[in-house]
Every structure is written in structure tokens, then in C-alpha cells.
């Protein structure tokens, strides 16, 4: 418990230090023009992305922050941590079958952590994820008298991020996804694909971690490009043979040709840090 409290304090301290600025003030990339160019190239390859007029929680997949309920968005994003879309969806659909829905909070809490762990085991890291979810539900109920975090719709970006980061097991990537997709704010979430490819593009220092990359990129990517670039880079990271983890530069990828930043981070043999 003491170690967890220390990690939470460190997480919040780091966010407070760089919530509105880059930890690398002398690193001048990406520029707004570079972001526009990357979006144009990726839109040509995969089709552009615009924020939908309203948020719709998908019934057939976990998604990543796609819900009108902040608590549901947070749980869905936790299910998506460190696993494939296929596995997180299997975990979400298993919750639907077990509890009558992945947002049946009373039933989930009443069933306890071991039952939830067994239910979501297909999604990976079920022991830690089930504990995180149960703890968040209990904290929300204790603090607000109901299973809801919808008060965050009225909070500032910083206050919403701070509250979500205050939960054990919720890091900048997870909180940023909820901010971007559910709360419909301009935030640049950094997952494994975004971290790898922004390293390729020369948009961040090569040796910075994911939390530092989030702070740097969130400060530098123009608000009007954050939603589209986040989705497009992830899509590209899954589909492009040259930009996948372990991908080899064959000189064919339009994005890699436009930004000759060097070797893709996350190639075979590199240790990949667990993301929250």
C-alpha cells in the first residue's frame, strides 16, 4: 500500500510539473506544420478522422473511452490496457454475459474481485485490472454516493486529469483517452503505437518514456489535430508493415519517407514498458 501511494504521488507530481508545458522545452518538434503534414499523409493512406457529433458506446467492442458515462469510459479503457482490441473486447463481452452489462456496477461490486478477475481473464492482466476496477468503483461510491464520475464533465481538463490519475492503475494514457473520447476535450493520448511512431518521426527525444512523451506531445500538437492524429497514428501503427513494432524500413512508407527520423522504437528485442 505504501509503495502504491508513493507511485500515485509521483504520478501526480509529474503531471503537475508538465500539465501545460513540455518537459523538453528545447526540443522543437513537432511543429504545427509537421503535424499538418503527418495528418495529410495518414489521411491519404487511411482516411481522415473527425470527431463524431455525439459519443456512442459500442456494444460489440470495448473501445477506448467511447462512452457517455465517464465511469464506463474509464473501465473500458482499463480493459484495453496492454492488450489487443480483440482481447479487450472479449473481456468486455464476458462482463456483459456475467453481469448483464459491463456497466452494472452494483452487480460487479457485489460479485467481488475474484469473480471479476475470472470474468475478464481473456483480456490479460485480469488480476490487476479487476482490482483497479473494483477499487475505483468503491472510491466513487464512497466519495460521491453513487457509481458515477460524470461530475468531470464540468471539471477543467487539469482537474479531470488529476482526479483520474489519483486512481491506482490509471496513468496518463488511460486518463487522456477518457478526456479525448468521453469528455470530448483536446488531449493527445500516447499508447505504444503513438510512442513508437513519434520516435520514428523525430517528434520526441529517443529515450523519453511514455509519460514524458505525453507531456511533450500534448503541449506541441495543435488542438485541432489531436483527435485525428491520435487515431490515425494508431491505425497506421497496426496496418503499416514498416511501422509496426519490429518493422523494417523498406523505403515504401510515405510517412517514413516524409520524416526521416531514424529507427522505429519498439523493434524486436526492446523491452516494452507496461502502460496504464
Report domain extents, the chain. Answer: 2-51+187-258, 70-182
pLDDT at 65: 86
Mean pLDDT score across all residues of the chain: 89
Per-residue pLDDT tens digits for 165-181: 999 999 999 999 999 99
DSSP structural state of residue 264: P
pLDDT at 16: 64
DSSP structural state of residue 153: G
Q: Which stretch of 85-89, 99-103, 147-151, 229-233 has the lowest confidence by average pLDDT?
A: 99-103
| Topology agreement, domain 2-51+187-258 and domain 70-182 | no
| Rg of the chain over all Cα atoms, to the nearest angstrom | 19
Q: Give the integer Cα–Cα distance in Å for 255 and 103.
A: 39
pTM of the entire predicted model:
0.87
The answer, yes or no, to whether the previous bond of 174 is cis (omega within 30 of 0) is no
**Residue 7: pLDDT band by 50, 70, 90 thresholds?**
low
Q: Does the pLDDT value for residue 106 go beyond 80?
A: yes
- Residues of the chain with pLDDT > 90: what percent? 75
Mean predicted confidence (pLDDT) in 240-254: 91
Q: Which of 3-12, 188-197, 267-276 has the highest mean pLDDT?
A: 188-197
pLDDT higher for 265 or 28? 28
Q: Does the pLDDT value for residue 3 go beyond 80?
A: no
Q: Does domain 70-182 sit in CATH 3.30.70.260? A: no
User: Is 131 a known active-site residue?
Assistant: no
Catalytic residue among 173, 226, 244, 265: 173
CATH (one of 1.10.1670.10, 2.30.22.10, 2.60.120.10, 3.40.50.1110) for 2-51+187-258: 1.10.1670.10
Contact 60, 118 (CB under 8 A): no
Q: Does the pLDDT value for residue 261 go beyond 70?
A: no
Continuous H helices in the chain: 2-17, 32-46, 70-79, 85-99, 105-119, 126-144, 157-165, 172-177, 192-201, 210-220, 223-239, 254-258
Per-residue pLDDT tens digits for 119-132: 999 999 999 999 99
- Residues of the chain with pLDDT > 70: what percent? 88
Q: Does the pLDDT value for residue 19 go beyond 80?
A: no
Mean predicted confidence (pLDDT) in 103-118: 97
Amino acid at each position: 500500500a505504501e509503495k502504491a501511494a508513493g507511485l500515485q504521488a509521483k504520478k501526480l507530481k509529474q503531471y503537475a510539473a508538465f500539465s501545460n508545458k513540455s518537459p523538453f522545452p528545447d526540443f522543437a518538434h513537432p511543429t504545427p506544420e509537421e503535424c499538418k503534414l503527418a495528418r495529410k499523409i495518414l489521411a491519404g493512406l487511411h482516411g481522415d478522422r473527425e470527431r463524431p457529433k455525439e459519443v456512442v458506446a459500442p456494444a460489440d467492442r470495448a473501445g477506448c473511452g467511447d462512452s457517455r458515462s465517464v465511469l464506463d469510459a474509464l473501465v473500458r479503457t482499463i480493459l484495453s490496457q496492454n492488450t489487443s482490441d480483440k482481447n479487450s473486447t472479449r473481456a468486455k463481452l464476458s462482463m456483459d454475459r456475467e453481469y448483464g452489462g459491463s456497466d452494472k456496477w452494483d452487480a460487479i461490486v457485489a460479485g467481488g474481485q475474484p469473480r471479476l478477475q475470472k470474468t475478464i481473464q481473456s483480456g490479460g492482466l485480469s488480476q490487476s485490472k479487476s482490482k483497479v476496477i473494483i477499487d475505483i468503483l468503491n472510491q466513487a461510491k464512497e466519495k460521491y454516493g453513487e457509481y458515477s464520475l460524470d461530475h468531470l464533465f464540468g471539471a477543467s481538463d487539469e482537474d479531470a486529469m488529476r482526479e483520474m490519475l489519483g486512481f491506482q492503475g490509471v496513468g496518463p494514457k488511460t486518463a487522456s483517452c477518457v478526456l479525448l473520447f468521453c469528455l470530448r476535450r483536446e488531449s493527445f493520448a500516447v499508447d505504444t503505437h503513438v510512442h513508437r511512431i513519434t520516435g520514428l518521426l523525430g517528434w520526441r527525444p529517443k529515450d523519453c518514456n511514455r509519460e514524458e512523451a505525453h507531456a511533450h506531445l500534448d503541449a506541441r500538437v495543435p488542438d485541432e489535430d489531436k483527435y485525428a492524429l491520435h487515431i490515425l497514428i494508431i491505425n497506421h501503427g497496426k496496418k503499416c508493415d514498416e511501422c509496426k513494432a519490429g518493422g523494417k524500413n523498406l523505403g515504401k512508407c510515405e510517412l517514413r519517407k516524409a520524416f526521416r527520423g531514424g529507427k522505429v522504437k519498439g523493434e524486436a528485442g526492446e523491452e516494452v514498458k507496461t502502460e496504464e
